[in-house]
Amino acid sequence: MAINSQEIIDELKSVISGRTFDAVLPPLVFVFTNNLFNLNIAAIIALSLAAILAIRRFIKGENWFYALGGLLGTGLAAGLALISRTATGYFIPGIITSILILIIALISLILKKPLAAWASHLTRGWPLEWFWRDDIKPAYQEVTIFWAVLFAVRLTVQLILFRAGDATRLAWANTILGWPVTISVLILSYIYGIWRLKKLGGPGVDEFREGKEPPWEGQKKGF
């Protein structure tokens, strides 16, 4: 099935939408200023930067939800770094997040209710009954396995660098394994998912809602 680039761009707009800058900059600034000054100054500067980004979005009338999330996350991370008195403490929330997502993905696979299906349902509002069909669910199971492998690799790298106390490399690893890899995985998941649904031969969401009988055209856009 041919998938044009514009279709992929449209699917990713709601994911990217300027959030990368807000999420990536504070931790990099934290590590840089910690190397130049000390932990206290680094925490203050990173937290101030996150606050400025959130205020800027609010003033400009942009979507500031993710900037606010970045502010809260930066505050928590900076607090943990100060409590632990180590720069690597800043990255504990990210490590915990990786652990939780990996556990949720694995549990969803064991229960045969794949995380990718839940994510699509919550994002698009498609009926859950469609996702659980035998000619639909395998596509979401396989994508969830792909996600689980990604987070297992990410967690392994994070733990190795955390135990080594290497805050600089941990910051870069989190950056590279964060939005850049996430965006790449979403693109691959979308391309593979549409192809797999076509191979499975199940109905598209609209066909399912309308109760159409086979043969079906299948899901043409959206995963």
3-state SS, 24-69, equals HHHHHHHHHHHHHCCHHHHHHHHHHHHHHHHHHHHHCCCCCHHHHH
194 vs 157: CA distance, rounded Å: 31
Summarised one tens digit per residue, pLDDT across range 128-165 is 999 999 999 999 999 999 999 999 999 999 999 988 88
Summarised one tens digit per residue, pLDDT across range 35-76 is 677 778 888 888 888 888 878 777 877 666 666 767 777 787
DSSP per residue, 145-169: HHHHHHHHHHHHHHHHHHHHT-HHH
Region 173-200: mean pLDDT is 85
Q: Place 28 in a pLDDT band, splitting at 50, 70 and 90.
A: confident
The pLDDT of residue 78 is: 79
- Residue with the larger pLDDT of the pair 23 and 149: 149
- CA distances (Å), origin 64, targets 53, 68, 109, 127, 203: 9, 6, 34, 29, 38
Residue 20: pLDDT above 80? no
- The model's pTM: 0.73
115 vs 34: CA distance, rounded Å: 37
Contact 205, 130 (CB under 8 A): yes
Domain borders along the chain are 5-209
- Residue with the larger pLDDT of the pair 152 and 30: 152
